[in-house]
Structure 1
Amino acid sequence: MIIMNMDKVISGFFIILAMTVNFGFVYGDLDTMTHHSKYELFAAIIINVIATVLKLGDRTQVGSVLLATSLVADIQLITAASVWTIATYASVVTSEVSTTIVSLSAGALLANFVSVLLYVGDTLKSKR
């Protein structure tokens, strides 16, 4: 019988979900905002923040790096949402602004990808 650590299952779920929702937002033409949903960006922010909170209790070296990658993703996604909000209410969302929004989100996607790689690597290492 395999006994699962539910904390690891929930943490892994949110780490991987954060990456996939972030990918869903980034996917599409850089300068066409109709390819990028504001609701998906909002979901990516919420899920990333949940993943960050779940990483707070880990006192290992890998846990510290996981937390750092999560904080980077949070900052970039929140900055992307802020740029989109300011551009929407202050002026017109140009292709330059939309490229900035998607580029910031792509940076968060890279941080999430590193987080998933570290999580999988740590999981494989702990099984040996």
Structure 2
Amino acid sequence: MPETAIPLSGKALLQKVRECAQMPRRETAKACGYYSKTKDGQIRVNLTDFYDAVLAARGVPLEPGGVKDGRGREPTFRVSVHKNGQIVIGSTYTEQMGLKSGDEFEIKLGYKHIHLKQVDSNGEISIEEE
């Protein structure tokens, strides 16, 4: 079974890359843990994983639209009114907003728009700048 190093990620990876600035890229990747040892003891440097990790650590999205797991639809940030008059906001949006079951909102109707103002646990509307 090949032996694998634990690769660095995030700020630790970027710091190590700065420290190894004068080294060849294969040596930098190896120093950051992006390598594995084969059964016969040879070291294989994983440059693709290293480059992906550096880009991710710098905040560059590798896949447009985020991580896709192949299930369901992708969020479009649009909803429509159902035949029964209801508007349903999917869990993708509520998860991105950090909402939990039981969170309450006050509905403010405007001309061709709806504002949802979150109500805190004391029943007061949270102050938001528009």
Bucket of the pairwise TM-score, normalised by the shorter protein: under 0.3
RCO (CA 8 Å, sep 6+): is it higher in 1 or 2? 1
TM-score (norm 2): 0.24
Higher helix share: 1
Larger radius of gyration: 2
